[in-house]
Structure 1
Amino acid sequence: MEHVAFDDAETYEPDDGWARAALAGSDRFSFEWFEKPAGHSSPMHDHENEQVCVCLEGELVVHTEEETVALEQYDSVHLDAWESHRVENRTDERAVGLDVFAPGRGFDFWTDREE
């Protein structure tokens, strides 16, 4: 069993106020808690991992090249591997979510990425 206390989790802040925390997982799947500040959007990107994004608090808008969907509390969306997407918080309040990736990944996706 692997226990990760939230306060001890590895964290990363790709942009000011956009916080991420690595929760328990493995190379087969990983979980990342995230907080997205008001008005923030991640850049359009894709990756080898399938992704499920769950909105835990506030509202998140997920954009792909094909469609846009608004997630309210406890709503989720599945993204295929290599599906270009971005996640946006259009509100004036923070939003909180949980990303699940398969296969698992680390923060090096953001730290080693070329713009």
Structure 2
Amino acid sequence: MKPVNFHDTESYEPDDGWRRVSMAGSDQFSFEWFEKPSGHSSPMHDHENEQVCICLQGELTVATKDDSVTLGQYDSVLLESDEPHRVENTGDELAIGLDVFAPGRSFDFWTDREDE
């Protein structure tokens, strides 16, 4: 067993108010908790990992090139490998979510990413 204390684990803030926290994971899967302020959107991006995005609080809109879905509390969406997407807080309050990646990915995905 490898417990992870939320307040002691690796975290980063790629933009003001957009914070990500590395949770328990392995090479097979990884979890990243995140919070986004109202109006914040990640850039359109893709990755080799499948992703499940779960909205824990607030409202998140997940958009691909062809579609979009708005998630409320406890709703989720599956994004396939290499599917371009972005995640935006379209609500009026802080949104909190959990991303699950398979296979697991390194936590430096955003910090080492070059702008497209």
TM interval, shorter chain, is: over 0.9
Q: TM-score, normalised by structure 1?
A: 0.97
Q: What's the C-alpha RMSD, in Å, of the aligned pairs?
A: 0.7
Q: TM-score, normalised by structure 2?
A: 0.96
**What is the CA deviation profile of residues 10-65 of structure 1, one whole-angstrom value per residue up to 9, with x for unaligned ones?**
10111111000011010110000000111100000000100000000000000001
How many percent of aligned residue pairs carry the same amino acid?
71
Unaligned runs of 5+ in 1: none
Question: Number of paired residues?
Answer: 115
Q: Which runs of 5+ in 2 are unaligned?
A: none
1:18: which partner in 2? Answer: 18
Q: Give the ranges of 4+ consecutive aligned residues of structure 1 lying more than 4 Å apart after TM superposition.
A: none
Distance in 2, Cα, partners of 1:9 & 1:108: 14
CA positional deviation for 1:92: 2.1
Contact 1:12–1:107 under 8 Å retained in 2: no
Partner of 1:89: 89
Which residue type is aligned with residue 74 of structure 1? Y
Within 5 Å, give how 1:33-112 maps onto structure 2. 33-112=33-112
Q: Distance in 1 between matches of 2:92 and 2:78?
A: 25
